[in-house]
């Protein structure tokens, strides 16, 4: 674990140093450094009243490719933990990857990552894996958002509609060569805006599906939700959702211990910040 932490700090220090160096070659080609930080902390009543945190930070080089899009090379750090100390949520990972984004206004990208990880829980007696692991991951990521109330808030009235769609497909070599699919679609209304504080109501649908038919990856949820953004200059928001969900009728490697239909209260705090876009 100490060696892994040392690698984290060395990678961060190297990237921080490189990101502050500007060269003539970068100016001529359009190549530049970029970075992104993301954190989510979610309370789930149904999961034993568990609170799960997942954060990542990555930094790399971005090279525009005329007529195609943007090509990224990056190093990434990911950290997760939860209150219940479930081993699958408690791990740290270092990744080196590449990503190709195809369009400007529509986000569609394919990526590949090499992963070195380590579990950071004391539940070794029930963990079926070694404490350290390697993985190769590949995938496609799609996102599109439409939010007229977010661009010109002083000229927009209350009840301004907005929408977001996110989808991804990921190949996980370590997880028995599994392919996991995920879809999240929101349709909402901006209820109120007070200076830079925003209140939204929305409906959301989630869908999960995988090749190996693992029950936790095979269900769909629908929920009404409330989103509160304290200061719109910062992409930080609180979301409260009440979900109705159902598992698909698929039998995979593990028996599903839950009822096929369920309800859940979920409260989450989300933060995203990026630069060099």
Report whether pLDDT(42) > 50. Answer: yes
Dump pLDDT digits (tens) for 211-261: 999 999 999 999 999 999 999 889 999 999 999 999 999 988 888 888 999
Local confidence band at 61 (pLDDT 50, 70, 90 cut-offs): very high
Burial class of residue 54 (count of CB atoms within 10 Å of its CB; 0-12, 13-18, 19+): middle
- Domains parsed from the chain with CATH numbers: 2-275 (2.40.160)
Local confidence band at 87 (pLDDT 50, 70, 90 cut-offs): confident
Mean pLDDT of the chain: 87
Joined together, the tokens standing for residue 2 give: 């100490």
Of 1 and 42, the structure prediction assigns the larger pLDDT to: 42
pLDDT of residue 39: 97
Place of tokens 């907005």: 162
Burial class of residue 251 (count of CB atoms within 10 Å of its CB; 0-12, 13-18, 19+): exposed
Read off the pLDDT of each residue in 68-86 and give the average, rounded to a whole number.
Answer: 93
Local confidence band at 163 (pLDDT 50, 70, 90 cut-offs): very high
pLDDT of residue 258: 87
Dump pLDDT digits (tens) for 173-216: 998 899 999 999 999 999 988 888 999 999 999 999 999 999 99
Local confidence band at 156 (pLDDT 50, 70, 90 cut-offs): low
Dump pLDDT digits (tens) for 132-154: 999 999 999 999 999 987 755 55
């Amino acid at each position: 674990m100490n060696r892994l932490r040392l690698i984290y700090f060395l990678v961060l220090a190297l990237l921080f140093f490189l990101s502050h160096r500007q060269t003539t070659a970068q100016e001529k080609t359009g190549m530049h450094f970029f970075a992104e930080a993301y954190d989510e902390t979610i309370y789930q009543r149904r999961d034993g009243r568990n609170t799960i945190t997942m954060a990542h930070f990555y930094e790399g080089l971005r090279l525009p490719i005329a007529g195609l899009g943007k090509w990224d090379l990056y190093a990434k750090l990911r950290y997760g933990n939860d209150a219940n100390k479930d081993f699958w949520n408690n791990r740290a990972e270092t990744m080196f990857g590449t990503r190709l984004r195809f369009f400007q206004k529509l986000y569609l990208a394919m990526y590949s990552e090499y992963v070195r990880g380590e579990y950071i829980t004391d539940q070794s007696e029930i963990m079926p894996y070694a404490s350290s692991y390697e993985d190769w991951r590949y995938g496609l990521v799609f996102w599109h958002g439409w939010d007229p109330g977010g661009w010109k808030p002083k000229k927009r009235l209350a009840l301004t509609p907005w929408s977001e769609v996110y989808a991804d497909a990921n190949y996980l070599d370590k997880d028995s060569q599994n392919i996991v699919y995920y879809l999240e679609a929101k349709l909402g209304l901006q209820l109120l805006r007070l200076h830079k504080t925003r209140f939204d109501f929305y409906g959301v649908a989630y869908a999960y599906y995988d090749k190996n038919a693992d029950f936790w990856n095979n269900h769909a949820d629908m929920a009404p939700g409330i989103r509160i953004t304290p200061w719109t200059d910062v992409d930080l928001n609180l979301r409260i959702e009440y979900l109705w969900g159902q598992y698909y009728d698929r039998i995979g490697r593990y028996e599903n211990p839950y009822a096929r239909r369920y309800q859940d209260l979920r409260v989450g705090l989300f933060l995203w910040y990026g630069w060099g876009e």
